[in-house]
Structure 1
Amino acid sequence: METAEIVVVGAGIIGLTLARELVARGARVLVLEKEGAPGRHASGRNSGVLHAGIYYAPGSARARSCLAGNRLMRAYCRERGLPLEESGKVIVTKCHEELPRLHALFERAQSAGASVSLVDESELREIEPHARTVGRAIHSPLTAVVDPKAVLAGLRDDLRQSRRAEIRFNVRVHGPSGPGSLDTSAGRLAYGAMANASGAHADRLAHAFGKGLRYMLVPFKGLYRKLRPQAAHLVRGSVYPVPDPATPFLGVHFTRSVYGEVYLGPTAIPALGRENYGLLKGLDAEAPSILWRDAMLFASSPVFRRVALSEPRKYLFKHFFADAARLVDALDPADVLPSPKAGIRPQLVDVEQNAMVMDFVTETGPAELHVLNAISPAFTASMAMAPGLADSVLGLSGSAGA
């Protein structure tokens, strides 16, 4: 049986940044990935926005790591010459009733140390000439945009060049095969320490180790559309609505990519599979159990019920467009085109409380770390999270002194 010092399961943004941190500390790392390339799921399918610490509950792991991660990721892109647009973001209101929510969000952002300002309608026109607001808007100059796939490719190259890490693609991890060993599609593998960073599959692997049993995945599908090139001038950077503070979703918004394309989305439609990107694509034998979880949440959680009743309508163009048109002036239905871009948010639910989990979660075993609920802003926060995760991995039995 092959033996590895440290095994990281998953070559998404959390797995690769953790592996990079471990290698920098002198460890030898083997990364196992079930796909044929890094970040085939959430890490490579997001909008590329580097968030700037605005939305998250004070004291939460998301709040602690977001702004620091933004700075680290921007510095990494500059250093590596990777695509980076420091174009900023505005958060706008659709009606006067949203102004108290906007001010509360502004105060939360300030308490988290975010660089934000309140602007009036004329100041907003200077920043985003076509953005529409009522009374006030928030301006976030530190919000930036990257190419997620370019960042993942850069991290992969870093690991290759270190000569202390190996990434093996097309290898599935099924679960433990005994203490300190994994059952994989390539055979059994012993390890000194293992980090589970498998994204939408992290709860499954954790459950196989008897960890995270109170958490179950309830996936949400993020669908995007895009502006036709002739309408791309309507957005300079990113234009977001004021989010509903009771949900973990930010609402349909506009983002100009590093390549000049403007995307609209994502939705937050309850999905029936961990990789259910299309209407039926990605459905498997787990669909009935996910549907049952959705039904339980619908019955018990007003927040989930509100999302479940409002978001599926956005499969229909008229509802998607209506949301988007409230954010900018002069948007015409002909300006909005289909896009194949889609992602799954690996949202966990606490089944003991029948509530969506609003923060990152980690659990440890004798020689295992499980990174759970790596939802937004996990991509932004990843480089700031990596040192703490590496501390946990190196503190596990069998990896001391790595």
Structure 2
Amino acid sequence: MSEDLNTFYLIIGAGIVGLSIGNYLSRITKEKVIIIDKEETLGAHASGRNSGVLHAGFYYTPSTLKAKLTKEGNQKLRKYCQERGLKINECGKVLVCKSEKDLRILEELKNRAIMNKVKVHIIDEKQLKQIEPYAKTYEKALYSPTTAVIDPKEILNSIAKDAQKSGVILIMKAKFVNLKNNVAFTSIGKINYKFLINCAGLYADHIAQKMGIGNNYKILPFKGIYFSIKEKKSQLVKSNIYPIPDLSLPFLGVHITKSINGKLYVGPTAIPALGRENYHLFNNINKEILEILRYNLWFFLKNEHNYRRFTFNEIKKYCKHILYKEVSHLVNEISYEDITNSLKVGIRAQLIDIKKKKLIMDFLIKRGENSIHILNAVSPAFTCSIPFAKYVVETFIV
């Protein structure tokens, strides 16, 4: 690019958060908005690699942003799909129990649902069979009727088109390199801006720290591997079957999801990754691996969030026999041979506080001089994207 670009708002990252913020900004301001992304196509990372589940909002502690935004996000994104004719399967979800211990967590989730004003039902084994005939549970299960499944990439492309129609300039294959004095240096040249919005996901901490923001935070990547279930068994599952989660961790456990095209997936795992884009065994590993290993060792030794047990359990899921054992607790009639490898894999950009040595459980946004930084926008950020964008813009930008 021979000439510098000029804009009022520069958004780094064209994932669901960056696109939604750009789209919302374009509707409430006449100022110029540019979104840049280093990839060639939308959805190359977390936003395009998730399970495609629209969460209902009952998992989250009532005081959190996740709790405040998920129910509304579910409703808004559901309506968005319906109005634009985008694919959506309003199939619901069940959470099943393995033991007496799970029943206590089930009650806690029910209480959170009540406080978050989310509709759920505690059901017995007979009622479960009416919803999911092949699902297994111990005495009771939790049914979430408002959970749905969408096509993440279809939604990303639709929101991008909406934003562009409203005047947003979307530039792909434009990698952020550095910044100085309200000038962003990118792979396509300089971009002069008045206000920078950092929605860089896996690299959000890097960009924030170049501006002196969030120095006590780091992204710790976790790899989510999916397996698939053979097509001949796809009719056994009607919706989504989840385990009861460990509420001390920001992960929901290995579950069965019926994708928008009817394919059954098992996953994701939450294995500590060796790099921010370490999608396959030893690819995209750089010198940052030493830092990543050090942070994982911190958590392992301190055992915050039951990290030792969590790490051992997740690493074992590389073995299909172990993963099958997880599946066998969720559903009947699926054999070891029915589970096959899948190309589907994602990286979760999990934020940690390196001073307190804790996982950040809620969304985290930090304001800087002429900038805003979305440091933690993991699941259910896709579900929350429409009200989250409104919240960020109205609270931190305009």
Query: TM-score band (shorter)?
Result: over 0.9
Give 1:291 shift. 0.9
Specify the alignment match of 1:257 in structure 2: 259
Give 1:330 shift. 1.6
Give 1:288 shift. 1.3
CA contact (8 A) 1:215 1:348 kept: yes
Which one of 146, 150, 155 corresponds to residue 159 of structure 2?
155
Which one of 2, 5, 9 corresponds to residue 2 of structure 1?
5
Q: How does 1:55-204 map to 2 (within 5 A)?
A: 55-162=59-166, 164-178=167-181, 180-204=182-206
Q: How does 1:373-384 map to 2 (within 5 A)?
A: 373-384=376-387
Look up the equivalent residue of 1:74 and give its one-letter code: R
| Distance in 2, Cα, partners of 1:246 & 1:368 | 32
Equivalent residue of 1:218, what SS?
strand
Distance 1:58 1:393, change over 3 A: closer
1:91-129: CA deviations, max 9, x gaps?
Answer: 010122211111111111111111101100000000011
Number of equivalenced pairs = 393
CA contact (8 A) 1:225 1:336 kept: yes
Look up the equivalent residue of 1:120 and give its one-letter code: D
Look up the equivalent residue of 1:90 and give its one-letter code: V
Look up the equivalent residue of 1:149 and give its one-letter code: K
Specify the alignment match of 2:40 in structure 1: 36
1:309-358: CA deviations, max 9, x gaps?
Answer: 21000000111110111000122111111100000010011111111110
CA contact (8 A) 2:372 2:397 kept: no
**Quick one: percent identity of the two aligned structures?**
38
Equivalent residue of 1:137, what SS?
strand
Give 1:289 shift. 1.2
1:39-98: CA deviations, max 9, x gaps?
Answer: 210000000000000111111011111111011110000111111000000001012221
Look up the equivalent residue of 1:207 and give its one-letter code: Q
Give 1:273 shift. 0.6
Poorly superposed stretches of 4+, deviation over 4 Å: none
Look up the equivalent residue of 1:228 and give its one-letter code: K
Work out whether 1:323 is the aligned partner of 2:326. yes
| Distance in 2, Cα, partners of 1:327 & 1:307 | 19
| Distance in 1, Cα, partners of 2:134 & 2:72 | 31
Give 1:258 shift. 1.0
Give 1:282 shift. 1.9
| Distance in 2, Cα, partners of 1:394 & 1:347 | 24
1:237-286: CA deviations, max 9, x gaps?
Answer: 00000001111111000011111111110000000111111111221221
Report the TM-score, using the length of structure 1 for normalisation: 0.96
| Distance in 2, Cα, partners of 1:290 & 1:354 | 13
Which one of 368, 372, 381 corresponds to residue 369 of structure 1?
372
| Distance in 2, Cα, partners of 1:97 & 1:191 | 54
Specify the alignment match of 2:49 in structure 1: 45
CA contact (8 A) 2:255 2:327 kept: yes
Q: How does 1:208-247 map to 2 (within 5 A)?
A: 208-247=210-249
Specify the alignment match of 1:399 in structure 2: none
Look up the equivalent residue of 2:257 and give its one-letter code: T
Equivalent residue of 2:193, what SS?
strand
Q: Which runs of 5+ in 2 are unaligned?
A: none
CA contact (8 A) 1:38 1:152 kept: yes
CA contact (8 A) 2:304 2:358 kept: no
Work out whether 1:283 is the aligned partner of 2:285. yes
| Distance in 1, Cα, partners of 2:309 & 2:361 | 16
Specify the alignment match of 1:20 in structure 2: 23
Which one of 266, 269, 280 corresponds to residue 267 of structure 1?
269
CA contact (8 A) 1:194 1:393 kept: no
CA-based RMSD of the aligned residues comes to 1.1
Give 1:137 shift. 0.6
Work out whether 1:336 is the aligned partner of 2:343. no
1:3-28: CA deviations, max 9, x gaps?
Answer: 21111100000000000000111332
CA contact (8 A) 1:22 1:390 kept: yes
CA contact (8 A) 1:193 1:393 kept: no
1:200-223: CA deviations, max 9, x gaps?
Answer: 110111111110111111111000
Give 1:393 shift. 5.2
Give 1:175 shift. 2.8
Give 1:297 shift. 1.6
| Distance in 1, Cα, partners of 2:320 & 2:360 | 30
CA contact (8 A) 1:368 1:393 kept: no
| Distance in 2, Cα, partners of 1:112 & 1:221 | 29
CA contact (8 A) 1:119 1:136 kept: yes
Q: How does 1:301-316 map to 2 (within 5 A)?
A: 301-303=303-305, 304-316=307-319
Look up the equivalent residue of 1:20 and give its one-letter code: N
